[in-house]
Structure 1
Amino acid sequence: MRKPVGNSWIVAGVLLALVLGTAQSARGAPPRYTPDWLSLDSRPLPAWFDEAKFGVFVHWGVFSVPAWGSEWFWWHWQGEGQLGYQLFMRDNYPPSFTYGDFGPQFTARFFHPDEWAKLFQAAGAQYVVFTTKHHEGFTNWPSPVSWNWNSKDVGPHRDLVGELGAALRKRNIRYGLYHSLLEWFHPLYLLDKKNGFKTQHFVSTKTMPELYDLVNSYKPDLIWSDGEWECPDTYWNSTHFLAWLYNDSPIKDEVVVNDRWGKNCSCHHGGYYNCQDKFVPESLPNHKWEMCTSLDKWSWGYRRDMKLADVLSESEIIAELVQTVSLGGNYLLNIGPTKDGLIIPIFQERLLAVGKWLQVSGEAIYASKPWRVQLEKNETSVWYTSKDSAVYAIFLQWPEGEVLYLKSPKATSTTRVTMLGLEGDLKWSKDAYEDLRISLPQLPPSALPVEFAWTVKLEGVK
């Protein structure tokens, strides 16, 4: 049975929460969260998310069939009427072809979830966020409120959400579900928009039933909400859903959510903050955050017109990962599979490169904390992380003369310096300015543990 989402349930739920909250508080049990941001924002973030640091994002849907321009294909074509998209359709499809006609061509014929999970594990990903529904409305699971526009009725005839989740959990990889609150062309959403969002027909019959169904059916570790920007959270009933999620859902203790629950919420309310796509703060934030970015610089979904120059390089990815973690964030790196369910070789190569780097340098990344200094600029950019009493200095350019100068760490009589991936201690001294002067190993590049972003571990420093 699914949770009702009408106004009567909301009123009853609030009264029940108040009664139970009072009773539990009297017994010393954790207080229940009420459907308001003051209460919801007080919930501690489950520890697993901050420790994970690196995840893989997967954008996959009917937009993977035209695979041209971006995953916003339908909107650019018929919502905005962009000329390039109209010409693409004129040149490649018959005049009567609709976006819905792409659905049967989304076959997922070569989708092997165990192979995906194996790749993500080799990439070092601690969590995966999978698209259950993008703004086009097509659901990658048999949603009971998306008749004939879901992956069981049309196209793959498979439960893609369920299959991937089972494969990931066999490898102890956390599973996150992306879900768009809005649907561009859904009649009920358009009706609510026409009514100035004073009605909630779409929310009560589509959005909320889907969210409850996803939670109860798949028990995700993370809900990555999106598509919130046209309406306030009061339209979406976001706080009522989150109160249920935190109090009574089967995942109430472990689930993590982001901040996209209404146009007034981003970077202000929710679990951790996304703020905006590809967001990077200038300094250390006081709230847990995540940078989401895509291997394809111009699209989140797969594009047949993608060029090699459009793909992030290995060094760019590692540099972004290091910067993000140093500033206390998680790094969520996106790929777009083909309509058949293939992850193209260039994407596989990039993911495996991250995994290879993390095999050596993961000690400085996973479960690390920001240090008192995050960035030190000299002849090479040095980013710092810390774990327990150790400090990690990750430098992005190899210094001339094989000597690394560090101003921020202060040496003591017990200082020890090593490089991750190499055995033995590195020689160090203090110069006239009390800066650390570290002699790096004089090895050919092929003998170094990684190709870029080398990590020096400092023990016994202040």
Structure 2
Amino acid sequence: MYFCQRSTSFSRSSILSSRVSFLSSIGWWLIGALVAVLPARAQTPYAPTWTSLDRRPIPAWFTDAKFGIFIHWGVYSVPAYRPVSPRPYETYAEWYGADVYGNAALRQSFHDKNYGPTFTYRDFGPLFRVELFDPARWADLFARAGARYVVLTAKHHDGYCLWPTTAPYKQQWHSGVVGPKRDLAGELAQAVRARGLKMGFYYSLLEWESTSTANRPSGYYLPKADIEKYRIPDAQYVEKNSLWQLKELVTTYRPALLFADGEWDRSAAYWRSPEFLAWLYNEAPNKDEVIVNDRWGQGTRGQHGGYYTSEYASDNEKVGVQHPWEESRGMGQSYGFNRAENIENYSTSAQLVHQLIDIVSRGGNLLLNIGPAADGTIPVLMQERLVDIGRWLAINGEAIYGTRAWAPGAAKGAPQSLYYTAKGQDVYVLTTSWPTAPFVVAGVPAASHPTVTLLGSAVPVTYTTQRGQLLVQPPVLTLAQAPCQFAYVFKVHRADR
């Protein structure tokens, strides 16, 4: 800041100079204003190409969240059946339409026997009544489980929508008119957000009623009569159905996550996925928050889109992958509720906690699925598993949320019962069984003058040094002193960082 002494007389030249200076200032102000305004109007940073789309950063909330709840729920929850199989994917009860009703042998032995030969898949729709569905209770359970986000199957491969879609070909096949006559997606989204969790939607690009496939002898997933009655012409399918509904979900509910699936029979160009994603990233109301997965067309998994996906460890849970990724799986061998499964088919609470630890220690997220019943209740066994995980996270969550993989802990030859995560100045050693002998903390030199604590416990933890490395001595605890069940976490705080 500076001050000028006032003058009592002005020369013509000084007046001219002042005018020039004033006009110059106005000119620069206008240029500055244009620079500020034009980018907002003209900027379209993402083109509908994978080269452009793949450079979009992954929203930080996703890589910090670590644990989410997947929900497979729909008309397939009425029959809730598929024979249990030792082969991967072949116990999925949400595939009832294609692999029981659409399978000649199983249709005769199970479907026709129990429902009659004239009972079609769509006849299950009115029986999907969800009369006991309480979205607030669901959301309370998810929050109690320690989940940070929820993903609902807004539409699975059967084409039935859990919201009142306006898509022209689905006016008689959604929850607003068939079954509960409710906006299930909207109700749950509101309840989930009220508990401070992120809400996302799963959406199947293909539909068994319309999409042809080389994977079936008939060329289709369903019986010929269903195809002839409900098929959407190929020329209309994307424009008037899938693309329409994706944009509808985004503009109506503004999900934080979109989990695409059913991409395998067509190219990304057919699905117009790059076009949709460019719109999502550039123009959608939730463009800064939303994240998507990698299932947008043949060959896109693990290559394009947002975060990478695997299911039931089918891709070795992306071992060593640096890109953000997520493993999804059910508590049993199915995503949708399967009445054919017994207790032996379900993972224990300890196994699920161990899977969460393993996945997070390698930089991934766990999207753990539940399969509610057609009446809107969540099976008690599934509730118990979620509550158990939540109890463990209430004590040990700081070793999960917001952490990153600790590279030295992934070294070859490291004890398989020890897992590592890191956050800021802290390294966490997660052990799936109580260590009975001293253990070395990988990558933390003794010279860093760390402090070591056991999460959930006030019992002191001591350490010594061994060839410059930190050697932690597990304390001797009574059963009453154990901080939790299933797994334990030693926190190493480094004073040198």
Q: What TM-score, normalized by structure 1, do the two folds share?
A: 0.88
Distance of aligned partners of 1:191 and 1:125 in 2 relative to their CA distance in 1, 3 Å threshold: closer
Find 2:471's aligned residue among 401, 419, 437.
Answer: 437
Does the 8 Å CA contact 2:268/2:298 hold for their aligned counterparts?
yes
Measured after TM superposition, the shift of residue 460 of structure 1 is 1.9
Q: 2:57 aligns with which of 28, 31, 44?
A: 44
Deviation per CA, 1:201-243, whole angstroms, max 9, x where unpaired? Answer: 2111111111111011111000010010011100000000000
Identity %: 40
Instruction: Look up the match of 1:204.
Output: 239
Give the total of aligned pairs: 433
Q: CA 1:441–1:30 in 2, change beyond 3 Å: closer, same or farther? A: farther
Alpha carbons 1:361, 1:421 under 8 Å: kept: yes
Distance in 2 between the 1:308 and 1:257 partners?
34
Amino acid at match of 1:56: I
| Residue 287 (structure 1) aligns with | 323
Q: SS in structure 2 opposite 1:409? A: strand
Evaluate the alpha carbon distance shift between residue 129 and residue 98 of structure 1 in structure 2; reply closer, same or farther with a 3 A threshold: same
C-alpha RMSD of the superposition: 2.4
Aligned pair 1:272/2:296, yes or no? no
Partner of 1:61: 74
- Residues 52-107 of structure 1: per-residue CA shift (max 9 Å, x gap): 110000000000000111110010124343x2343111321122111111101000
What SS does the aligned partner of 2:390 have?
helix
How far apart, CA to CA, are the structure 1 residues paired with 2:255 and 2:286? Answer: 7
Give the TM-score normalised by structure 2: 0.82
Output the CA distance in 2 between the equivalents of 1:314 and 1:275.
21
Deviation of residue 199 (structure 1)?
A: 5.0
In the aligned structure 2, how far is the partner of 1:379 from the partner of 1:113? 43
Name whichever of 45-54 and 275-284 sits farther off: 275-284
Aligned to 2:97: 74
Matched, 1:108 2:130: yes
Q: Distance in 1 between matches of 2:403 and 2:213?
A: 48
Q: Which runs of 5+ in 1 are unaligned?
A: 1-21
Task: Indicate the SS of the match to 1:45.
Answer: coil
**Contact 1:225/1:258, CA 8 A, preserved across alignment:** yes
For 1:429 and 1:252, locate their aligned partners in 2 and report how far apart those are by CA, in whole Å: 50
Q: Which residue of the partner structure matches residue 129 of structure 1?
A: 151
Give, in angstroms, the shift of residue 26 of structure 1.
5.8
In structure 2, do the counterparts of structure 1 residues 420 and 191 end up closer, same or farther at CA, with 3 Å as the change threshold? Answer: closer
1:453 to 487, 491, 494: 487
Please give the alpha-carbon distance, in whole angstroms, between the structure 2 residues aligned to 1:163 and 1:406. Answer: 47
Amino acid across the alignment from 2:287: K
Give, in whole Å, the separation in 1 of the partners of 2:311 and 2:382.
Answer: 23
- 1:138 equivalent in alignment to 2:160: yes
Q: What does 1:12-411 align with in structure 2 at a 5 Å threshold?
A: 31-69=44-82, 70-81=93-104, 83-145=105-167, 146-186=170-210, 189-190=211-212, 200-276=235-311, 278=313, 279-281=315-317, 283-296=319-332, 298-375=333-410, 381-401=417-437, 403-411=438-446
Aligned equivalents of 2:415 and 2:360: distance in 1? 21
Structure 1 stretches of 4+ with a deviation exceeding 4 A read 22-31, 190-194, 376-380
- Structure 1 position 411, deviation (Å): 1.4
Which segment is superposed worse, 138-147 or 118-127? 138-147
Q: State whether residues 33 and 40 of structure 1, in contact with CA within 8 Å, keep that contact through their aligned partners in structure 2.
A: yes
Looking at structure 1, the residues matched to 126 and 341 of structure 2 have their Cα atoms a distance apart, in angstroms, of: 24
Distance 1:365 1:67 in 2: 34
Q: Give a deviation string over 1:133-176, Cα, whole Å, max 9, x none.
A: 00000000011121111101011110000000000111110000
Shift of 1:305: 1.8
Change (3 A) 1:28 1:106: closer
Aligned residues of 1:113 and 1:163 also touching (Cα < 8 A):
yes
Runs of 5+ consecutive residues of structure 2 not aligned to the other structure: 1-34, 83-92, 221-231
Deviation of 1:314 (Å):
1.1
Aligned counterparts of 1:282 and 1:254: Cα–Cα separation in 2: 24
SS at match of 1:441: coil
Q: Which amino acid aligns with 2:394?
A: Q
Which one has the largest radius of gyration?
2
- Corresponding residue to 2:455 among 387, 411, 420: 420
Structure 2 vs 1, CA of residues 25 and 312 (structure 1 numbering), >3 Å: closer, same or farther? farther
CA distance in 2: counterparts of 1:306 and 1:232, whole angstroms = 35
Aligned residues of 1:280 and 1:324 also touching (Cα < 8 A): no
1:18-48 deviations in whole A, cap 9, x for unaligned? xxxx998867986521100011111111111
